[in-house]
Chains A and B, each alone.
Chain A
Amino acid sequence: MSTTLTTEETGAPINTEQEARERRERLLSWLMPIAMLAAAIGYWEWAVWYFEVPRYLIPAPSVIAKTLITDGPSLMVSAWFTVKLTFMSLLLAVIGGVILGGIFALSRTIELSLFPFAVILQVTPVVAIAPLILIYVHSTFAALLICAWIVAFFPILSGTVVGLRSADHNLRDLFTLYRATPWQRLRFLLAPSALPQFMSALKVAGGLSLIGAVVAEFVAGAAGQNTGLASRIIESSFRSEIPRMFAALVLVSLLGIVIFFLTSWASRRVLGHWHESELRREH
């Protein structure tokens, strides 16, 4: 313990200066976005008051915040519905995408025969398919889940396929030389090689699953107790309850931000110690 202290002390002049700079940079990287956001909201509040904009056109942030509190319980129920829908569709997209991607990577024939279906699912706008799915699938939640899944599934599939194929050819040779079993090859070579592509696909799919969930609900136009934030937005629009629309919108954005941070965090956790995309550079 004492040696560590001494070393730190001897290295003090350079270290503290550098550390101080790094601390300042870290602080700035948090402070600047928060300050800018606060400034924008402040300006919004001021502008609404100053120009006397009616609340049915653009409500002030304070009004939105009040609505968030007064309508909190009912909005939370809807938010929870959307959260469930988004995360379940993302989970199913990951499971389906990884399994199918693995099969595609193993067999060229299967890939060639099934890929057209994946592409058709991907290129057909979910808005166009959703009404059909709503007719065929009895449960609204299941129908919405399928819609959101379709949107989130494709990036995971293609990320997994490209990732599994991107293993270094010399390393492949090495595994052949050491007579690795297919399972060993998958576990020790292909899966780690696929992680960078998979993680970036996960980031994309995370955002898309929320978009899918919201769009599907818009199309379904589902009303009633058991519905998500998108239905709240439509409903409030019909009733011209603009502050409530904004409040629901805020919650959707927050959910999107949470997903973004979660997937970014996961990516850093998985790749941070070795992959170029997530390495922290020492200046």
Chain B
Amino acid sequence: MTAPVIRMDRVTRRFGANVLAVDNMTLDIQPGEFVSFLGPSGCGKSTALKMIAGLLPVSAGTIEIAKSTGASEHDLAFVFQEPTLMPWATVFDNVFLPLRLAGMKRREAEPRVMAILAEVGLTKFAQSYPRTLSGGMKMRVSIARAMVTRPRILLMDEPFAALDEMTRSKLNNDVVRLAKELGLTVIFVTHSVFEAVYLSTRIIVMAARPGRVAADIPMQTPWPRDENWRTSPAFATEAQRVSDILKGTLHVDDLDH
């Protein structure tokens, strides 16, 4: 077994005196894994992700991220639930941002930015402003921005929750393809069982109050999967299995959320 990329050791996060958002979470994530954090609202899955990204401090415990060996400007990339683009900047400038913040000149960065825009199919829109794009296209810009620094770890916080089913399923395939091509380690936060089952090599089911790991399910089906698998009985069986585990962790009042 190789050394984990991310190692969470008894990580706890409190908000105020009473809210225990994440309680005693211990988890090792191996290179190349596609891990979904699956759970109801308030189970601390987004909090856990933000702590891994270093955007929230831990209240107790440690999170270790293995040192980078490759040639990346930034090891860790984050995709938010909303596209989170700068409305005053063109698609090109939005994707260029992480490299610009790393001190790279525009001319130097241009081939990289254009290559990643081609990868997400937005070459023609490099000079467009975000307001002229559809929701799915904005999300692809957001993904391109995350990938432009050649990260090893991609953290995604319910990135496709606001999109329609068609766009969502297309972007699911795009993310898996990119993750596979670039050998990324991905943590994908979602509350959709189907999405988690389709995308992941491993599903971490989380439970609320306090937020904690309820089950750690390795997925047996070969990865990446294709569209045919999404409509197969095998997929339905897997989804049922994960769904049952998830239901077992729910409180009665979780269903209100």
Residues on A lying within 8 angstroms of B by beta carbon are 168, 170-171, 173-180, 184, 188-189, 192, 195, 273-275, 279
Contact = CB atoms under 8 A, between A and B. Distances in A.
Interface string B123-163: 00000011100000000000000000100000000000000
Given A188-B97, A274-B131, A177 B53 contact: yes
B69 to A, nearest CB: 19
Query: Binding site of A, secondary structure by majority: helix, strand, loop or mixed?
Result: helix
B57 to A, nearest CB: 12
B129 A192 contact: no
Interface string B79-116: 01010101111000000011011100000000000000
A274 B98 contact: no
B3 interface: no
Contacts of A195: 88
B86 A189 contact: yes
Contacts of B180: none
Given A170-B84, A178-B98, 6 more contacts: A171-B86, A176-B55, A178-B149, A274-B130, A275-B87, A275-B88
A273 B129 contact: yes
Interface string B51-76: 00111000000000000000000101
A177 B76 contact: yes
A185 to B, nearest CB: 9
A177 B78 contact: yes
A175 B129 contact: no
B185 to A, nearest CB: 16
A247 to B, nearest CB: 44
22 contacts: A170-B82, A171-B84, A173-B50, A173-B53, A173-B78, A174-B78, A174-B80, A176-B55, A177-B53, A177-B54, A177-B55, A177-B74, A177-B78, A178-B102, A180-B101, A184-B101, A188-B101, A189-B86, A192-B86, A192-B88, A274-B131, A279-B131
